[in-house]
């Protein structure tokens, strides 16, 4: 009774229900009471506010240079003659179908923000999708999750670039929300068809956006099969499961036939799975340190709390607990079994929004007492501060500062001809061929490939690095070449992008 009298105004308005007891063991639709009608206006207002905030910060983040993978995607879109060839004629792991298809239709605009607007739209839609996931349980949980999704820097980052991650995240969240509702509620025939359709369409959207969504699809398929097999009428439940997963399975099989069996990989800078996962978790939480070990100081107890929360939900009959547990485990198991030769933190990005789900459940428990509200305010402040810091640094560096680097070379080169070499011929060919005509104007840009015969010696040398790597050394020398001295460093964000350390061949040296 005391907890009810001290509940804050927000919790009173939204009526967050108390967690069901472990002995209840009722279906979640019965163990969690429906929220009151008067809670709807406030929760919708907060959802709208978070959605607008998500749109603003993502649109602002579109105003920086395209990075290597975006340029490759744009080149793919420019190389195909018909939309169908996006699916059947490219065979590159950098071809994210829906993004490439969108770029195909807007390729003549030559506007970087426009290239990224599809990702912005899908990234903003993730906020109400997350609200929908938890809205049937508690509107306080739903509002907190919406806020976390709106303000998460990694989600802002990847929903403001011309890549497929935003669609993968949105489709996965919609599929999980629809599946959890379908299995938790006693639905009529029309509602069951609707939720099953949203599940299938959501997973299809996710897979066509980015193939890493297959990790979530596999987890949802396995989780739904486990839950359905616990129910009466096993043959009927298996038929339900086949119907649920038919559309995404058919789409994936079709993609394999026309494209995936011919797929080629571009690769990149090597990174261990442990380091990549550690960096993703650190940035997703707003942890400031960059080492691999310190992030686990926070995540070790947090993982324990998440496991406890999921255990409590599982005891109450909440199907979402099984789905979330498998969403965490299946991608990690797949990565460990496949042992990829190249790994990046963004490859497990599809897990991150689902890590925020039990965090929202845990945080919602704190609104029941004055001390809990103080803790909640402190946690949310620290989270927002960490995300704001990462976002502010991103606005400074972007995904690379290629335009600024070329302008620097132009300013410090007297000749109308600028000769450039680098330690990465493929990357330089992509980046310089895109930015050269847009920046150099009437000046001539000559690229000198490594080991090739060139009529001129390069005046500038580019060392390509990832955003998490420090600037290159003060001086370098290529075999048989002159000494080159570091002139300037143009950084990039950590999660995706290309940093340039540029060197200059000084006369008389």
Distance CA 91, CA 262 (A): 6
End-to-end Cα spacing for the chain: 82
pLDDT of residue 43: 92
Q: Within this chain, do residues 315 and 361 fall inside the same structural domain, yes or no?
A: yes
Q: Within this chain, do residues 176 and 290 fall inside the same structural domain, yes or no?
A: yes
Count of alpha carbons within 13 Å of 242, Cβ hemisphere only? Answer: 6
Mean pLDDT over residues 481-485, rounded?
84
Is 90 among the domain residues? Answer: yes
Calculate what percentage of the chain has a pLDDT beyond 90.
67
Return the bridge partners of 489, or none. Answer: 501
Residue 434 belongs to domain spanning: 402-504
Is 319 among the domain residues? Answer: yes
pLDDT of residue 22: 37
Give backbone dihedrals phi and psi of 240, rounded to 5 degrees, phi first.
Answer: -60, -45
Q: pLDDT band for position 83 (50/70/90)?
A: very high
Q: Within this chain, do residues 391 and 418 fall inside the same structural domain, yes or no?
A: no
Give backbone dihedrals phi and psi of 95, rounded to 5 degrees, phi first.
Answer: -95, 100
pLDDT of residue 268: 63
Distance CA 293, CA 9 (A): 40
Is 178 among the domain residues? Answer: yes
Q: Within this chain, do residues 391 and 438 fall inside the same structural domain, yes or no?
A: no
Q: What is the 3-state secondary structure (H, E, C) of 220-256?
A: HHHHHHHHHHCCCCHHHHHHHHHHHHHHHHHHHHHHH
CA angle 77, 427, 387 (to 5 degrees): 85
Is 280 among the domain residues? Answer: yes
Is residue 454 over pLDDT 80? Answer: no
Helix (H/G/I), strand (E/B), else coil: 103: helix
Distance CA 461, CA 432 (A): 13
Is 297 among the domain residues? Answer: yes
Count of alpha carbons within 13 Å of 176, Cβ hemisphere only? Answer: 37
Is 274 among the domain residues? Answer: yes
Residues 6+ apart with CB under 8 A from 70: 115, 161, 162, 163, 399
Q: Within this chain, do residues 468 and 388 fall inside the same structural domain, yes or no?
A: no
Calculate what percentage of the chain has a pLDDT beyond 70.
88
Mean pLDDT over residues 91-117, rounded?
95
Max CA pair span of the chain: 86
Could you tell me how many residues make up the chain?
Answer: 509
Is 1 among the domain residues? Answer: no
Taking all residues of the chain, what is their mean pLDDT, rounded to a whole number? 87
Q: Within this chain, do residues 480 and 465 fall inside the same structural domain, yes or no?
A: yes
Closest by CA to 475, choosing from 498, 505, 452, is: 505
Is residue 184 over pLDDT 90? Answer: no
Q: Within this chain, do residues 278 and 156 fall inside the same structural domain, yes or no?
A: yes
Q: Within this chain, do residues 141 and 155 fall inside the same structural domain, yes or no?
A: yes
* Number of folded domains that form the chain: 2
pLDDT of residue 386: 95
Last residue within a domain, chosen from 362, 379, 397 = 397
Q: Which two tokens stand for residue 308?
A: 């406890």
Q: What is the 3-state secondary structure (H, E, C) of 156-218?
A: HHHCCCCCCHHHHHHHHHHHHHHHHHHHHCCCCHHHHHHHHHHHHHHHHHHHHHCHHHHHHHH
Helix (H/G/I), strand (E/B), else coil: 484: strand
Q: Within this chain, do residues 65 and 128 fall inside the same structural domain, yes or no?
A: yes
Contact 66, 74 (CB under 8 A): yes
Q: How does DSSP classify residue 446?
A: E
Identify the burial level of 225 via C-beta atoms within 10 angstroms of its C-beta, where 0-12 means exposed, 13-18 middle and 19 or more buried: middle
Mean pLDDT over residues 159-164, rounded?
96
Q: How does DSSP classify residue 445?
A: E
Give backbone dihedrals phi and psi of 453, rounded to 5 degrees, phi first.
Answer: -85, 125
Q: Within this chain, do residues 350 and 488 fall inside the same structural domain, yes or no?
A: no
Helix (H/G/I), strand (E/B), else coil: 363: helix
pLDDT of residue 341: 67
Mean pLDDT over residues 96-104, rounded?
97
Q: Within this chain, do residues 240 and 121 fall inside the same structural domain, yes or no?
A: yes
Last residue within a domain, chosen from 338, 362, 397 = 397
Q: How confident is the model over 296-314, as pLDDT tens digits?
A: 888 899 999 999 999 999 9
Q: If you search the block for the tokens 């939720």, which residue do you land on?
A: 195
CA angle 228, 233, 237 (to 5 degrees): 35
Residues 6+ apart with CB under 8 A from 163: 69, 70, 73, 96, 99, 119, 210, 496
Q: If you search the block for the tokens 């496949």, which residue do you land on?
A: 338
Is 2 among the domain residues? Answer: no
Q: If you search the block for the tokens 């390729």, which residue do you land on?
A: 107
Q: How confident is the model over 36-47, as pLDDT tens digits?
A: 334 788 899 999
Q: Within this chain, do residues 178 and 321 fall inside the same structural domain, yes or no?
A: yes
Q: How confident is the model over 236-283, as pLDDT tens digits?
A: 989 999 999 999 999 999 999 999 999 887 666 667 778 888 889 999
Last residue within a domain, chosen from 380, 397, 414 = 397
Distance CA 479, CA 87 (A): 43
* Helix locations, 36-111, DSSP H: 39-60, 68-79, 85-88, 97-106
Distance CA 65, CA 435 (A): 9
pLDDT of residue 189: 62
Q: Which two tokens stand for residue 380?
A: 């949310």
Distance CA 37, CA 460 (A): 66
pLDDT of residue 491: 94
Tell me the Ramachandran region of residue 348: left when phi exceeds 0, alpha when psi lies from -120 to 50, beta otherwise: alpha
Contact 144, 360 (CB under 8 A): yes
Distance CA 285, CA 332 (A): 19
Count of alpha carbons within 13 Å of 94, Cβ hemisphere only? Answer: 16
């Amino acid at each position: 009774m005391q907890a009810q009298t001290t509940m804050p105004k927000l919790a009173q308005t939204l009526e967050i229900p108390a967690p069901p007891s472990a002995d209840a063991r009722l279906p979640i639709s019965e163990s969690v009471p429906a929220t009151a009608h008067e809670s709807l206006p406030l929760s919708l207002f907060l959802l709208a506010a978070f959605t607008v905030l998500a749109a603003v910060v993502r649109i602002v983040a579109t105003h920086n240079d395209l990075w290597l993978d975006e340029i490759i995607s744009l080149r793919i879109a420019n190389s195909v003659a018909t939309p169908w060839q996006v699916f059947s004629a490219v065979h590159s792991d950098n071809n994210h179908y829906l993004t490439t298809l969108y770029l195909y239709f807007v390729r003549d605009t030559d506007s970087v923000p426009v290239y990224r607007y599809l990702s912005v739209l899908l990234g903003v839609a993730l906020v109400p999708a997350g609200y929908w996931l938890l809205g049937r349980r508690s509107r306080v949980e739903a509002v907190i999750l919406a806020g976390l999704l709106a303000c998460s820097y990694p989600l802002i980052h990847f929903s403001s670039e011309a890549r497929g991650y935003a669609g993968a995240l949105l489709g996965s969240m919609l599929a999980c929300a629809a599946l959890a509702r379908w299995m938790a509620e006693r639905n009529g025939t029309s509602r069951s068809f609707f939720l099953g359709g949203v599940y299938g369409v959501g997973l299809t959207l996710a897979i066509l956006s980015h193939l890493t969504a297959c990790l979530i699809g596999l987890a949802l398929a396995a989780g739904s099969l486990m839950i359905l097999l616990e129910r009466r009428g096993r043959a009927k439940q298996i038929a339900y499961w086949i119907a649920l997963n038919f559309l995404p399975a058919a789409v994936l099989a079709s993609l394999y036939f026309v494209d995936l069996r011919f797929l080629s990989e571009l690769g990149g800078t090597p990174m261990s799975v442990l380091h990549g996962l550690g960096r993703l978790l650190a940035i997703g939480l707003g942890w400031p340190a960059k080492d691999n070990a310190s992030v686990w100081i926070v995540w070790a107890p947090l993982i324990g709390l998440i496991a406890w929360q999921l255990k409590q939900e599982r005891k109450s009959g909440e199907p979402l607990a099984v789905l979330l547990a498998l969403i965490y485990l299946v991608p990690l198991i797949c990565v460990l079994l496949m042992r990829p030769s190249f790994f990046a933190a963004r490859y497990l990005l599809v897990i991150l929004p689902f890590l925020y789900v039990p965090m929202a459940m845990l945080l919602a428990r704190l609104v029941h007492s004055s001390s809990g509200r103080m803790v909640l305010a402190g946690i949310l402040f620290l989270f927002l501060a960490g995300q704001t810091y990462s976002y502010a640094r991103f606005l400074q560096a972007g995904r690379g500062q290629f335009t600024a680097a070329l302008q620097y070379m132009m300013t410090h080169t007297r000749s109308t001809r600028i000769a450039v070499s680098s330690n990465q011929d493929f990357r330089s060919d992509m980046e310089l061929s895109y930015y050269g005509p847009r920046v150099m104007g009437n000046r001539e840009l000559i690229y000198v490939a490594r080991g090739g015969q060139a009529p001129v010696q390069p005046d500038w040398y580019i060392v390509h690095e990832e955003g998490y790597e420090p600037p290159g050394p003060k001086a370098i020398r290529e075999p048989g070449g002159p000494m080159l001295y570091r002139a300037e460093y143009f950084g990039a964000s950590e999660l995706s992008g290309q940093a340039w350390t540029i060197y200059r061949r000084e006369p008389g040296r």
